[in-house]
């Protein structure tokens, strides 16, 4: 998301009108996970407005519609793919990754469907695939087949880290709702292509969330040093303090890199014009 009423003071500034929120967001962060396309394909005119609101360096990521990924599970959807990408034409140049989020019912037996689906997509796209079936996390033949396919096709495996939110005590409805909705899958920090994706689901308590992010510091630093360009999407159960958590994690990563002798990351603060060089979402 890029429009949240509680981000008026932390991201947009008190005088920013609602239609200008995306432009303001893009002055602070360098990427956003456009979840709206999962539920409904925007009109081409709306897509053009979004593209015009961000600088050339900004990169959207959009999910393919649930009609394609969940209802059809990648079968018999050539027309739907054509319709979707036609509507998204104005955003092709500013979209860094197209996400194929697959349901937990999409198991190892469906991998041929994924392989057959890929040629239907426009050429040259950067893709990310998120799976949720337990077999793809069991370190067996199914996961090896998946990772081999993604590596061969240069497709990024999207990594969900929901450990913090499930470690939280479910003593309020916000936490309970997040635990009901978020997948609880193991974390396999593997890069199958050049732009690995992490979706980090923090807690309401930012100190605990920051502490639980610590294992990612070395992995992100290694990827950056190795020429990878990771995407880091930061969430909290209600996303109210997600920008603040993103800023804290960014600083932790910058400090870690500097301690390892690497160049510190470009600093940024919320509600100013500085922008990070890692694809970062809140």
pLDDT in tens, 233-254: 999 999 999 999 999 999 999 9
For the question of whether the overall pTM of this predicted structure is more than 0.85, the answer is: yes
User: Helices in 33-77 by DSSP H: which ranges?
Assistant: 36-39, 44-52, 66
Q: Using one digit for the tens of pLDDT, what is the confidence trace for 212-230?
A: 999 999 999 999 999 999 9
Domain with 263, as residue range(s), is: 5-281
pLDDT band at 141 (very low <50, low <70, confident <90, very high): very high
CA 3 to chain centre: 16
For 280, phi then psi, to 5°, come to -130, 135
> Token pair for residue 47?
């897509």
CATH label of the domain that carries residue 78? 3.20.20.410
Provide the number of structural domains found in the chain. Answer: 1
In the predicted model, is pLDDT for residue 278 greater than 80?
no
């Amino acid at each position: 998301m890029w429009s949240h009423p509680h981000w008026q003071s932390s991201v947009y500034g008190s005088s920013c009108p609602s239609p200008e929120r995306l432009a303001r967001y893009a002055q602070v962060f360098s990427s956003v996970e456009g979840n709206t396309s999962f539920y409904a394909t925007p009109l081409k005119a709306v897509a053009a407005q979004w593209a015009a609101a961000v600088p050339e360096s900004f990169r959207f990521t959009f999910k393919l519609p649930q009609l394609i990924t969940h209802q059809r599970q990648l079968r018999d959807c050539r027309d739907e793919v054509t319709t979707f990408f036609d509507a998204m034409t104005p955003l092709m140049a500013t979209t860094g990754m197209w996400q194929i989020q697959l349901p937990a019912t999409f198991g190892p037996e469906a991998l041929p469907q994924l392989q057959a689906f890929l040629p239907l997509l426009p050429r040259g796209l950067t893709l990310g695939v998120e799976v949720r079936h337990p077999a793809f996390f069991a370190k067996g033949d199914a996961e090896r087949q998946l990772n081999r396919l993604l590596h061969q096709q240069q497709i990024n495996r999207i990594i969900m880290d929901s450990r913090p939110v499930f470690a939280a005590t479910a003593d309020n409805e916000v936490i309970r709702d997040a635990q009901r909705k978020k997948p609880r899958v193991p974390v396999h920090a593997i890069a199958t292509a050049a732009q690995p994706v992490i979706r980090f689901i923090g807690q309401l308590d930012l100190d605990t969330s920051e502490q639980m992010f610590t294992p990612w510091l070395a992995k992100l630093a290694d990827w950056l040093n190795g020429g990878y360009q990771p995407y880091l999407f930061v969430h909290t159960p209600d996303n109210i303090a997600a920008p603040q958590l993103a800023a804290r994690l960014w600083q932790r990563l910058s400090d870690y890199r500097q301690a390892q002798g690497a160049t510190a990351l470009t600093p940024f603060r919320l509600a100013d014009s500085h922008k990070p060089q890692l694809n970062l979402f809140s």
